[in-house]
Each structure stands twice: as structure tokens, then as C-alpha cells.
Amino acid sequence: MAKLLTIGQLANHCGVTVRAIRHYHRVGLLPEPVRDHSGYRRYGAQAVVDLVRIKVLADAGVPLAQISHLLSADPDEFGAAVAGIDEALQQQIIQVEHRRQQLLGLLAGDQLVLPSEVAEMLNDLREIGVSEQGVQIERDGWILLAALSPEVVPEWTMQKRAALDDAEFRRIYLAYDNARDWDPNDPRLKALADRTVQWTTTRSDAAIGARSDTSPSDPNVMLVAQLMDAESAYTSPALNRLAELCRERLGRSARPAS
Amino acid sequence: MAKLLTIGQLANHCGVTVRAIRHYHRVGLLPEPVRDHSGYRRYGAQAVVDLVRIKVLADAGVPLAQISHLLSADPDEFGAAVAGIDEALQQQIIQVEHRRQQLLGLLAGDQLVLPSEVAEMLNDLREIGVSEQGVQIERDGWILLAALSPEVVPEWTMQKRAALDDAEFRRIYLAYDNARDWDPNDPRLKALADRTVQWTTTRSDAAIGARSDTSPSDPNVMLVAQLMDAESAYTSPALNRLAELCRERLGRSARPAS
DNA sequence: CTTGACATTGACCTCGCGTCAGGGTTGCAA
DNA sequence: TTGCAACCCTGACGCGAGGTCAATGTCAAG
């Protein structure tokens, strides 16, 4: 007897589901086979061959519509297509490796969400003794900056790290960090504003004297300092007041916050 | 100014689409941010952090429903989950490599659709001089056999290859291959039936004398011969007639085809 | 003051099947 | 003989993760 396969036997043998085979029939990917006297589909050897090809291609990620096109292609065309698919699989492997890296990066703090040089700078801040809240505020500022103007980040980071090499700047920075929780009328704010302005002007002169190649480097010293309180100014009345005091002392050489 | 991001800026910076972000809002994966005066969504730094985490996990294949669960998990739980996801990715790589093998197998004939020993046997047939049509018919028979009773394939293949070591069997087999196109009344069919029956009986005796450990080995010699024309009998009147003649000569020791 | 890029909501489309409903068929054991 | 479990049939709806289209509102710049 010409023993033919039922849909279940075919599915089982080829490692697909019955439902998948019927789906392939509906979309015209696999031809409908003969039916037996009670309407059951009966499959011959060619169906096994076809289905194996379909399954391998589908597992490789080829869309069904494209598979039906491939099955009716001549061997040369088919070989070329297979080569292309194989290349796509190789690239997929590379992608997955990359995703593994990213995934493991999730376990390691802010690296993923910030350029590495900024992450390093934040670590410098922590080592200097900046409060965790202060570091967080800096981080948020840099995240937004990186989203809005990624091109300025490397330059600004360099400037900031250069400033942090200066002991006086570090002291001022830590003072700002502490000042966040002060009363806006605290008398120490005036002294801190004086110190800030003094450091800024001497630093600005030094920068101009040192090199004139990077033309906007001297206002950047200011901007770097401002970045520090750009965000926190909205959550800290004391730092808000402090910024105002600095602006008074600098006249309109620093433009007002809009 | 507390510069916040529009949905497009956020999407761009994080490498996702605007539509995806809105989708995450709908399914509660990412909290809806504040709106500006004209109803636009405005995102802060935390949204960037959240979205990056979502994207990395989603790219790693984690379902969104599970991601929302993960984002509110404690670090230990999160670390364990990440380890699990990473393992899944590693297995995915192995799978893809396997699929590459299968894919390349498509270019190399029947290996994928048949156990290797059967494929080798088919190559033996080609070398002996069997017509391409004859090989195809054999192949189709073995495909169906492998689908219906895979467990008998290794044994039957061994039997067949053993028979093919016999010069007389090879001659008979080639004669069958030629006879496929004969007229069913061709007088040569009788002679061929005689030869078949004679070979079968002597071979059967020899097999019984040689070893009695594999109990059903002597009827199998018959079955192996029958397999050869099991399929072709339906497409070749001459082979059909030939099978009938063999049955006459063997009496009812071979059961009738139902 | 218009133009083009961007934002809003909402409804339907895609792919590759899974799942359920509501039946008919087959084969084997009690 | 009669279960009854295990198949098979068609047809319709569901899902995940967004994409696409429509109709409308808003922003920035020449």
C-alpha cells in the first residue's frame, strides 16, 4: 500500500506543528495534498522535502513570503540567497554578542546611559567627597546635555575635569554641594559668591593666557560652573540665590538665565 | 532653564521610535511624563535611564510584560534575572550556529531529509548505475519509512547495504530498474521473477545459518526487496506484474499486498 | 506668514502562528 | 458493541510589539 502521511505524522517528523502546516497551505507556501476518503490530508515524500526546506529557511528568519519565492528559484539564485541569509545569521550572532555586553552593562551603573568620560568624571566627584545627591544631580544634567547637544559633551567634560584638577575649584564645588540645603538668606552665601567670582576671573585669565586656539574656551569655564547648578537651582532655593549673587557680581558679562 | 526632552529627542537619543515610547506608556512600562503648555510630553533624565534599560532588555528578547516586572525588582532579583537572560542569549547563539549548518545543508542534496546512512546507500545505488528515477523512487520510499517507523531504518538500511554487496542482487536490482518501463506482458518478466525468487530463498537460508540472534532478520531480507518496488509498483505496470509473479512463485509465504 | 518638521489621539494592519469552538474519523481495549 | 482517547476538519479570534494612516494642532525659521 502506498502509505502516505497524515498531517500529524508529517508535522511530527519535520518538527513543526500541525497548525503551522495548515498555515503554510493557506498562504500557498506548501501545496495542498490529496485527501483520503474522509477528507484527511495525505502527504507523500515530496511534502517532507518541501517542508524541511521551509522549516530550515523559516528558522533562519526568512519571511514566509520570501520563502515561497525562493522555493521556485533556480539553483544559482537559491545558492546566492542562501549565502545572503547565512551572512545575515552571522551578523545576527554579532548583534546578540553586542546585546549581551549591553545587558551586562545594566548591572554596572551609569556607563550605558552616559559617555564613558562623563561616567569617569562622576566617579572623580564621588572620590572628592561630593554627596550622592550632588552626583545624581550632575548626572541628570549631563544626561540631558548629551541628549540635546551630544557634540559639546567631550569638550565640556574636558573643561570640567581640568577645573577639578584645581584645589580651589574642588573646595568651591564641595561648598556648593553643602550649600544646597542652606537657608537662602544664609550669610555664608555671599562669601561663597565672592570666592566663585574670584576663581572664575583668575581662571578665565589663565585660560586665555595659556592658549588661544580653542576660541570659546574662556566662557566655557563659566558654563562648566553653571552646569553644576543648572538643574539644582530649580530644587534648591539656596543655590538659586547663590547664582543670583554671582550674576550681580559679574555684571552682565554672564547673560541672565531666561 | 530646565530643558526637558520632547518625545522625538528622547526617541532619537535612545535609539527607539516615537511610536515605541508611546506604546510603552500605554502598557504602563514607562511612566507618562509631564506635559508642556500645549500638551507635548516633556521628559527628564530619569526617562532616559528608564528607556535605556527597557531598550536593552527588550533587545535581549525579554517580553515587555516581564520588563515592567523586572524594573521594579530589587538588585539581587534583577541580577539573577539578567544572568538568566544572558544564558538564554548564549543558547540563542548556539541555535543560530546550528541553523547556519542546516541552511548550508540545503545546498547539499538529501542529507537534511534523510538519515546519513540512507543517503550513503542512495549514493551507492548511483555508483552501481541505478537510474536517477530509480534512486528518486528509493529515496521517496525511505523518506516515508523514516517518517512512519524511524526505528526500523538503521536495521533495514544495514540489510539493504548487505544485499548490495552481493553481485547477483546488484544485477537483479539493475534489472528491476530497467524493467520499470517495460510492457507488463514482456516475457522477460517471468525470467526475472524466477531469478528474484531463487536469490531470495538462498539468501534467506544463508542468513538463518549465519546468525539467529536478530530474530526477524530473514523475513527482512524479503522486506528489503519489497521496499524497492513498494512505491514504484503504483507507477509502473511492469513492476506491478513482476511483484505478482513473485508472489505466485512464493505461494502464500509472502502475504498479499492489501 | 507660510512652510516643513514635529506633536497629539485613535483606529486599523502586520507576521507567524496559538487557541478555542464545534464538529467528524479512526483504531484499540473492555 | 461500545466506549473513548487520539486524531482530523474548518473557521474565527487572539497575541506581541509595534507600523501605518488620518486628521489635527504647534513650533521655529526664512
CATH code of the domain containing B40: 1.10.1660.10
Is B187 part of any domain? yes
pLDDT tens string A98-136: 999 999 999 988 889 999 999 999 999 999 999 999 899
**B37 Cβ contacts chain D strand, under 7 Å:** yes
Same domain, A11 and A99: no
The gap between A20 CA and D12 C1' (Å) is 17
Average pLDDT across chain A, whole number: 85
Q: Is residue A246 domain-shared with residue A123, that is, in the same domain?
A: yes
Cell readout for B246 is 513473485
| pLDDT tens string A212-247 | 444 444 444 455 555 555 555 567 788 778 777 777
Final residue before a domain boundary, out of B80, B105, B130: B105
Q: How many CA atoms lie within 13 A of B171 on its CB side?
A: 8
Q: Is residue B157 part of a domain?
A: yes
Strand C proximal to B42 Cβ, under 7 A: no
Note the pLDDT of residue A2.
Answer: 65
* A234·B2 Cβ contact <8 A: yes
User: Cα A147–A109–B86 angle (5° rounding)?
Assistant: 105
Band the pLDDT of B212: cuts 50, 70, 90: very low
Q: Which of B153, B63, B48 is nearest to A148 (CA)?
A: B48
Q: For A248, how many CA atoms within 13 A lie in the half-sphere containing its CB?
A: 10
Co-location of B196 and B226 in the same domain:
yes
- Tally of domains in chain A: 3
Host domain of residue A57: 1-72
The pLDDT tens digits for A183-197 are 989 999 888 888 888
Percent of chain B with pLDDT over 90: 52
Q: Domain for residue A94, yes or no?
A: yes
Residue in B closest to A15 by C-alpha = B147
If you average pLDDT over residues B115-124, what whole number do you get?
A: 93
Let me know whether A248 and A137 are in one domain. Answer: yes
B169, three cell numbers: 542482487
Give the CA A1 to C1' C28 distance in Å.
22
Residues B86 and B124 in one domain: no
CB contact under 8 A, A60 and B231: no
**Together in a domain, A182 and A80:** no
Whether residues B98 and B115 fall in one domain: no
Q: Is A39's CB less than 7 Å from nucleic acid strand D?
A: yes
Q: A62 or A189, which is more confident? A: A62
How big is the CA angle at A166 (ends A185 and A115), to the nearest 5 degrees?
95
Does A258 map to a domain?
Answer: no
Tell whether B223 and B126 lie within a shared domain.
Answer: yes
B22: nt with nearest C1' to CA: D18
Give the residue, A253 or A78, on which the prediction is more confident.
A78
Measuring alpha carbon to C1', the residue closest to nucleotide C26 is A38
Cα gap B233→B73, rounded to integer Å: 67
Note whether B130 and B170 are same-domain residues: yes
Tell whether B1 is covered by a domain.
no
Residue with the three cell numbers 500645549: B38
Q: How far apart are CA A169 and CA A89, in angstroms?
A: 53
Q: Which 3-state string (H, E, C) describes chain B?
A: CCCCECHHHHHHHHCCCHHHHHHHHHCCCCCCCEECCCCCEEECHHHHHHHHHHHHHHHCCCCHHHHHHHHCCCHHHHHHHHHHHHHHHHHHHHHHHHHHHHHHHCCCCCHHHCCHHHHHHHHHHHHHCCCHHHHHHHHHHHHHHHHHCHHHHHHHHHHHHHHHCCHHHHHHHHHHHHHCCCCCCCCHHHHHHHHHHHHHHHHHHHHHHHCCCCCCHHHHHHHHHHHHHHCHHHCCHHHHHHHHHHHHHHHHHCCCCC
Pair B72, B198 in one domain: no
Report residue B234's pLDDT band, with 50, 70 and 90 as the boundaries. Answer: low
As a whole number of Å, the end-to-end CA separation of chain B is 90
Question: Residues 116-175 of B near strand D (Cβ < 7 Å)?
Answer: none
What integer is the mean pLDDT of B197-204? Answer: 76
Residue located via cell numbers 558654563: A223
Asked if A57 lies within 8 A of B103 by C-beta distance, the reply is: yes
Q: What is the mean pLDDT of residues A81-107?
A: 95
**Residue B14 falls within a domain, yes or no?**
yes
Q: What tens digit of pLDDT does each residue of B47-62 get? A: 999 999 999 999 999 9
In this complex, the residue with its CA at the shortest distance from the C1' of nucleotide D15 is B63
> Is B198 a domain residue?
yes
A3/B144 CB distance under 8 A: yes
Instruction: Answer yes or no: do B131 and B46 share one domain.
Output: no
CB contact under 8 A, A96 and B99: no
pLDDT over threshold 70, residue B223: no
Contact of B42 with chain A, judged by CB distance below 8 Å, is answered with no
Residue A26 has pLDDT above 80, yes or no: yes
Closest CA in chain B for residue A75? B107
Chain A residues in contact with B90 by the CB 8 A cut-off are: 100
My answer on whether A23 and A45 are in the same domain is yes
How many angstroms separate the CA atoms of A186 and A181, rounded?
A: 10
Domain annotation covers residue A172: yes
User: Among candidates B16, B30, B17, which has minimal Cα distance to B64?
Assistant: B30
pLDDT confidence of residue A184? 86
Compute how many other C-beta atoms are within 10 angstroms of the C-beta atom of residue B74: 7
Q: How far is B133 from chain A (nearest CA, A)?
A: 14
End residue of a domain, out of B86, B105, B124: B105
- Write down which residue in B105, B121, B155 finishes a domain: B105
In angstroms, the CA of A222 and the C1' of C27 are apart by: 89
The shortest CB-CB distance from B99 to any of A10, A89, A234 is to A89
Protein contacts on strand C: list nucleotides below 7 Å from a Cβ: 6-9, 15-19, 24-26
The three-state secondary structure class of A6 is coil
